[in-house]
């Protein structure tokens, strides 16, 4: 399954934006835009608006079109992760397992929480550039294993 194809089909199936829930005590919330490029054969690219809330162990990532239409919602907690898009739900045992299946590479969503705080936590195979984190811009590159990938995040105030 290809990440971009799934999101395009989700955009076509979704008729309206998903309502936001309130941030709970202990949760963090970031919103903005993200883009990911995977150097597979053929290369895959994806971009969307996002709302990331929760903690590395339990949270929610909502992806939206520029018009605010829901593309997909990823929810995770210990021992489970699922993606909802349109009427379809994909469930896996972990967030890494789910993102690997969808994008061809494990996307370090849990590490993203630290990167957004400006904490350069190490993730095997990934290099995070936090030099522009104060401006709300983060770039992370997966260098190993192949396929290589690049994740760009812009946080909006």
Domains of the chain, CATH where assigned: 3-12+29-155 (2.50.20.10)
Instruction: Spell out the residues 6+ positions from residue 116 whose beta carbon is closer than 8 angstroms to its own.
Output: 28, 30, 52, 133, 138, 153, 155
Above 60 in pLDDT, residue 11? Answer: no
Above 60 in pLDDT, residue 20? Answer: no
**Mean pLDDT value across residues 132-157:** 94
Above 60 in pLDDT, residue 51? Answer: yes
pLDDT above 70 coverage of the chain, percent: 82
Measure the CA–CA gap between 67 and 119, rounded to whole angstroms. 31
Burial class of residue 121 in the structure, from the number of CB atoms within 10 Å of its CB (0-12 exposed, 13-18 middle, 19+ buried): middle
Tokens 């061809």 correspond to what residue? 104
Above 50 in pLDDT, residue 16? Answer: no
| Tokens standing for residue 107 | 């996307």
Tens-digit pLDDT profile for residues 105-122: 778 888 899 999 999 888
Tokens 């396929």 correspond to what residue? 147
Could you tell me the pLDDT band of residue 24, with boundaries at 50, 70 and 90?
A: low
């Amino acid at each position: 399954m290809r990440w971009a194809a799934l999101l395009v089909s989700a955009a076509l199936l979704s008729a309206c934006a998903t309502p936001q829930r309130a941030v709970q005590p202990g949760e963090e919330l970031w919103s903005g835009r993200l883009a990911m490029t995977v150097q597979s054969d053929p290369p895959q690219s994806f971009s969307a608006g996002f709302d990331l809330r929760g903690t590395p162990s339990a949270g929610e990532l909502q992806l939206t079109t520029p018009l605010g239409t829901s593309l997909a919602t990823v929810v995770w907690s210990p021992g489970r992760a699922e993606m909802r898009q349109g009427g379809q739900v994909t469930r896996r045992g972990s967030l890494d397992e789910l993102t690997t299946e969808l994008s061809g590479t494990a996307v370090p969503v849990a590490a993203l929480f630290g990167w957004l705080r400006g904490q350069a936590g190490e993730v095997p195979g990934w290099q995070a550039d936090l030099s522009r984190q104060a401006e709300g811009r983060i770039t992370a590159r997966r260098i190993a294993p192949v396929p290589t990938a690049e994740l760009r995040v812009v946080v909006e105030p």
